[in-house]
Chain A
Amino acid sequence: MSRNRKNPPGVDPKLLIKDATRLLSAPSRRLFLRGAASLGALSMLTGCDIVDGQTSENALRVISRFNDRVQALLFSETTLAPEYPESAITRPFPFNAYYNEDEAPDIDGDTWQLEIGGLVDNKKPWTLPELNALPEVSQITRHVCVEGWSAIGSWQGVRLSDFLKMIGADTKAKYVWFQCAEGYSNTIDMPTALHPQTQLTLKFDNKTLPTAYGFPIKIRIPTKLGFKNPKYVTAMWVQNNDAGGYWEDRGYNWFSGL
């Protein structure tokens, strides 16, 4: 395919789509073990049959859950992601999703509402003008994709911890779950939700968030990998059960902290 000029080197917007399609089209396939050469060599090295897909897949998932706990311990609510000057902003900032840019949800900002649910005192839905009237914070931070590439962007919006306190959320709850317009979702841990840089984002580069970057709102979390930064958010629930997420359910590590 021809290189999309809008992406930094190495970003192939079709890769994720391709991966997702392969995965979705064959739900029962062995996800983790392929490559005849490597498997043969691994069997020889270990002298045992660990190539049984389901066994190693289960073992890898157990270790991934262990890594979630290690990352939660490493996470510090006071350690801030590095911030950059405006000159460092990646322009144009890449669009990235498991679908093409022209397939991104086109949301009507006049009728859109943020639904609030779960362990929250005030579950009144929020309109875009109401959110825009709240005190604004700003950050220029690095978005790190699970694929390895990164890009620096400028985001403005409401500090999520302030918003959670304002709506009377139970901040002793374990998780915050986000539902998005196109069916995407994420669950994040409460310590990350309360991190000072975690932001309910309304603007990119001081302008209304464009469709490509998640209009009307995205959740910007500079302490997590990009796929843990949901766009086109329509609902936010505070809860004690882990509702998983789009990519987390497909094998990416749940915590995915930076």
Chain B
Amino acid sequence: MFETIFGPFALPFVQRGLTEVLFLSVGAGLLGTWIVLRGLAFYSHAVGMAAFPGLVLADGLGFAAPIGAFFTAVFFAGGLERLSRGKKSGHDSLTALVLVGMVALGVILASDVFFSGSNIDTLLFGSLLVIGRWDVVFAAATSAAALVATLVFGRVWLATGFDPESARSLGVRHGLPDIVLLLLISLSITSALSAAGAILVTTLFVVPAATTRLFVRRMLPWQLSSIALVAAEGVLGLWLSVQTNAPPGAAIAMLAGAIFILALLTRRSSLAGPPEPPSIQGDQNRKILAPFPKNY
């Protein structure tokens, strides 16, 4: 009994995956709350996908994958910032375009330059079971950075998250803090790529924070419970993947999705009170305020 449950964790490569996912959980849980609060889900998904050509280059030329991923992620973030400067709407279509451009570049590099073949699967889906020592160090470093930045900038991020307009009028300058947040998200997502892969990285960063958001309203409990949930889902998913021979990233993704749906259902039945007005800057509000049709 004991053996069948804890047996997998005696294997060294599983232990390394375990350390990795525990380190990642701090950064992913903390930043996840900011991603959900600030509506940055698409950005975080896009950063992960945009790192694809960097991973292909690293694989083809034989240098460390996180370096390639990090530079393409920064290139992506910088390019997006440059293109969307001065625009009030249409950020989402720009994000989508830059993202798909990067993926197309990655596909062409992979299929016509380096002939990466079956390595593509690993690049796209990652694996917690083939983690290197440097991946763990990188994850620990980004998590520490996320923790420090949350302590320093948390108040500003919170103010701009709830009400960008009045935050500006109250004199909260959010140029630098916002850039720090975007960079930090890029960095953390890069560090999670080798574990979760380009497409599934949102499982660690968005889904757990969205799940706990259903129950918790205050910032600190929300952050702590998100970290705990990422860690729990990561460990359980890793265990499931060893037991069933499924890829770990995908196992965690399914698990996180199932837990979210369960959470939504229990909350529906237990809290039957009137729904609160959306406190996150909703898409609806933004759309009404968006100054699209200027000259009609």
Q: Do the two chains bind?
A: no
Interface residues of A (CB under 8 A from B): none
